[in-house]
Amino acid sequence: MAKERHGVDRRAVLRAAVAGGGGLALAGTLWQSAALAAPAQNGPGPYGALRAADANGIRLPAGFTSRVVARSGMAVPGTGHIWHGAPDGGACFPDGQGWIYVSNAELSGGRGGVGALRFDAHGRVIDAYSILTGTHRNCAGGPTPWQTWLSCEEVAYGYVFETDPYGVAVPARRDAMGRFTHEAAACDPDRQVVYLTEDERDGCFYRFVPHTWGDLSRGGTLQVLVAGGGTSGSAAWRTVPDPTPSSGRTPTRHQVSGAKRFVGGEGAYYADGHCWFTTKGDNRVWRFNAADDTYELAYDDDLVNNGPAPLTNVDNITGSALSGDLYIAEDGADMEINLITPDEVVTPFLRIEGQGASEITGPWFSPAGDRLYFSSQRGTSGSSSGGITYEVTGPFRARGGGPGDTTPPTAPSALTVDGVTQTAATLRWTASTDDTGVHHYAADVDGRVVDPAVAATSHTYTGLSAATTYVLGVTAHDAAGNASPRATLTVTTAGDPSGGGEFSNHTDVPIRDGATATSTIAVGGVADAGSFEVDLVILHTWVGDLTVEVIAPGGREWRLWNRSGGSADDIRQTFTLNGTGVDANGIWTLRVHDHAHHDQGYVDSWTLRF
């Protein structure tokens, strides 16, 4: 969408409004030193001037280099996977000593989806694969703290899909997050909500409040920001009455009186109590303060008063956890990624030459913060089939430790565990030490990171299974991206002292047309099954063609579902059954049969409670 220019009168009015309102004070850990009289201004950047274009046509500061990691329509080097066209929003996820970069495909006609690149510890691509297919114009999205990728459809009445970057779990449509022209998603773990932008001329800014943080399958409430028409002020949240309107019904953005309008919502990024988001139609970067529900301008090209505006056609946005700098990609214009520093200087970080018919998409840093990934959606050809995905490395700066800092923190020590229940345990440790200070910790279960940004010296692990042994791990990270050795402690969760217990399986199992799907749970330490419960969550369109049975280790069967429910979607129900005289110990089986075709779904989870 082309940038819409405004006249001199609008500039004057905006400047007067900002000055009269006392300006913008960017708070939070990343921005505490800021004291701003107007939104960010043109100025020299921390990395100096851009040098001549390299072999890839990218102008970078001294010390930085670029490389191509994937091209649309071609096999990713070292793999047989064909990289998708029109690469768009993306993010990185930790993967042992390596990482994964996911990238949306903004293609229409059911050709949208998400691809993934897996890197080893040395940054070499070792695998590539699809994690979502068959969707429409997947534009931006956002990562979750539980290591999934939310991929958003930028079409009228579009959906959000939750996907697994690791390629294990089946992707799931999250209807409760609303049907509208989605753009980006940004998770706020402090308030346990997800912010959502809308790419419409009269779009809104939303937040989704899940019923269960970390489990979007359980639904939640979609709310919209309500505020006045100014560029700063206080706001409130109101529930959207019908978050999933069918085509032709009242769109979400028109359902709540007083909903604040934003001209073409684009990227969103959450850090330190603030959600930053961009609006391309008026070329602004906004800051929403989640602590007090206020909003204000961080950047407006019409308010740059010391020379030409360096940042135009704002689009995707991300940030560096090391430095606090924001990185904003341009859609067309002069094809730059600009950064806004914590002292409110906006300056180009890179420029792609010879690709003016494209746009820069998907900027995101590797978990260590030392590599920046992004794409040119249409490359040199100007076509969606000409997309190019890049990596930039170099001396990215850090707070409290320059890019030359290579000393890792010491490993966390004196690990203890308490609060052990059937489903949770709290790990505590003595703080690590580092020459420039520990920035955060990362907590994992059996080697899989469950929280990459722990601020305290303890973490409560949830969602565990009863009577199961786990290796809980933690690593310390400094501001320069160095990681300590992993410290671990083995813990076994509690069983039920009464001889009962709760046993779960949360592994997704696809349900194919005309086929049978099974899932198993191992039960131990329980005598007679007695009266027991089965909690069942199946996410499936048209549940009227399903039969579901649960089978005890000795072969006794109970039918839970017998082709009821008609055309309704999903089964979320607790069944109470009589198992008196049945030995509960051993392998229990859930059996699901799909008796028809042209629908889809999967077993999300099931739990036995004795």
- Three-class SS of 526-584: CCEEEEEEEEEEEEECCHHHEEEEEECCCCCEEEEEECCCCCCCCEEEEEEEEEEEEEC
pLDDT digits (tens, 9 = 90+) for 583-595: 888 889 999 999 9
Q: Is 255 left (phi over 0), alpha (psi -120 to 50) or beta?
A: alpha
State how far the Cα of 208 lies from the Cα of 216, in Å rounded to an integer.
10
The whole-number average pLDDT for the span 45-68 is: 96
Distances (CA, A) of 417 to 446, 457, 458, 470, 537: 15, 12, 9, 12, 31
CB atoms within 10 A of CB 296: 21
- Within 13 Å and on the Cβ side, how many CA atoms surround 51? 10
pLDDT band for position 19 (cuts 50, 70, 90): very low
Residue ranges of domains in the chain, CATH in brackets: 8-393 (2.120.10.30), 413-492 (2.60.40.10), 502-609 (2.60.120.260)
Query: Which range (362-366, 425-429, 477-481) has the least confidence?
Result: 477-481
Q: What is the pLDDT of residue 500?
A: 67
Supply the mean pLDDT for the chain: 88
Q: Are 121 and 410 in contact (CB under 8 A)?
A: no
Q: What is the pLDDT of residue 495?
A: 65
pLDDT digits (tens, 9 = 90+) for 233-291: 999 999 999 999 998 899 999 999 999 999 999 999 999 899 999 999 999 999 999 99
State how far the Cα of 12 lies from the Cα of 15, in Å rounded to an integer.
5
The whole-number average pLDDT for the span 544-555 is: 93
pLDDT digits (tens, 9 = 90+) for 75-130: 999 999 999 999 999 999 998 879 999 999 999 999 999 999 999 989 999 999 99
The whole-number average pLDDT for the span 40-56 is: 92
Q: What is the pLDDT of residue 542?
A: 86
pLDDT digits (tens, 9 = 90+) for 371-407: 999 999 999 999 999 999 999 999 998 864 444 567 8
Query: Which range (147-156, 395-404, 527-536, 600-609) has the least confidence?
Result: 395-404
State the DSSP string of 304-318: --SSS-S--SEEEEE
49: its two tokens: 């001037």
Check whether 481 has a pLDDT greater than 80: no
Percent over 70 (pLDDT), the chain:
91
Comparing 610 with 171, the larger pLDDT belongs to 171
Beta bridge partners of 416: 428
How wide is the angle at C-alpha 143 spanned by C-alphas 141 and 145, nearest 5°?
150
Q: Are 533 and 593 in contact (CB under 8 A)?
A: no
Q: Which residue has the tokens 């840093």?
A: 365
Closest C-alpha to 398, from 325, 507, 305? 325
Q: What is the pLDDT of residue 405?
A: 65
pLDDT band for position 26 (cuts 50, 70, 90): very low
Q: What is the pLDDT of residue 399?
A: 67
